[in-house]
Amino acid sequence: MNDKNIQNLTGNIRNTLHFQFSISWQMLEIHLTDLEDKEYLWRPSSKGLHVFNESEVWCADWPESEAYDIGPASIAWLTWHITFWWSMVLDHSFGNKTLARKDVSCTGNIKETKERIIHLRNEWEIALSELSENEFLSSERTRWPFIDKPFHELVAWLNLELMKNAAEIGYCRFLYASQQK
What pLDDT tens digit does each residue of the chain (181 aa) get? 677 776 788 899 999 999 999 999 999 999 999 999 999 999 999 999 999 998 889 999 999 899 999 999 999 999 999 999 999 999 999 999 999 999 999 999 999 999 999 999 999 999 999 999 999 999 999 999 999 999 999 999 999 999 999 999 999 999 999 998 7
Contacts of 13 (CB under 8 A, 6+ apart): 136, 152
Range(s) of the domain holding residue 98: 3-180
Question: Helices in the chain by DSSP H: which ranges?
Answer: 3-32, 37-40, 75-94, 110-129, 133-137, 151-180
Handedness of CA 14, 12, 140, 131 (dihedral sign): negative
Return the half-sphere exposure (C-beta side, CA atoms, 13 A cut-off) of residue 145: 10
Domain total of the chain: 1
CATH code, domain with 86: 1.20.120
**By three-state DSSP, how is residue 52 classified?**
strand
Nearest C-alpha neighbor of 158 from the set 145, 170, 176: 145
Amino acid at 56: E
